[in-house]
């Protein structure tokens, strides 16, 4: 009721979530970019340190420059909630400015 989801809308969200998982299963990244900025919050599972070191830092292999890893408030699934967006927006803008964008 709080999310205003009907059974049909919930089924649709479940289909989307499952599709995203399926897309990621066979994803094999390649190439490189000039710079990588990674924003991370409390992960869905495991510790933040484990997620950073074992899941996120390997993305540095795809950056020609020194990557940055920025700890942001919230959890992975609450990062864009009203409670966290204002602070995330400030952090995001500061990273853009640091890159000259």
Six-digit token pair at 43?
């992960």
- Residue numbers of the domain that contains 86: 30-99
Number of domains, the chain: 1
CA atoms of 76 and 14, how far apart (whole Å): 18
pLDDT, one tens digit per residue, over 19-51 is 988 888 888 889 999 999 999 999 988 999 999
Q: Is residue 15 part of a domain?
A: no
Buried b (16+ CB within 10 A) or exposed e, 50-63: ebeeeebeeeeeeb
In a domain, 13, yes or no: no
- Report if residue 14 sits inside a domain: no
- Whether 23 is in a domain gets the answer no
Domain assignment present for residue 1? The answer is no
Separation CA 88–CA 81 (nearest Å): 10
Give a yes or no: residue 40 inside a domain. yes
The answer to whether residue 14 scores a pLDDT higher than 80 is: yes
Model confidence at 76, pLDDT cuts 50, 70, 90, reads: confident
**39 within domain boundaries:** yes
The whole-angstrom separation of Cα 47 and Cα 85 is: 22
The pLDDT-based confidence of 96 (bands split at 50, 70, 90) is very high
């Amino acid at each position: 009721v709080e999310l205003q989801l009907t059974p049909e809308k919930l089924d649709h969200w479940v289909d989307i979530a499952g599709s995203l998982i399926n897309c990621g299963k066979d994803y094999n990244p390649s190439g490189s970019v000039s710079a990588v900025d990674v924003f991370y919050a409390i992960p869905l599972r495991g510790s933040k340190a484990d997620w950073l070191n074992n899941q996120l830092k390997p993305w540095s292999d795809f950056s020609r420059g020194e990557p940055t890893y920025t700890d942001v408030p919230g959890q992975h699934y609450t990062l864009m909630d009203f409670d966290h967006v204002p602070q995330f927006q400030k952090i995001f803008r500061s990273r853009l400015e640091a890159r000259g964008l």
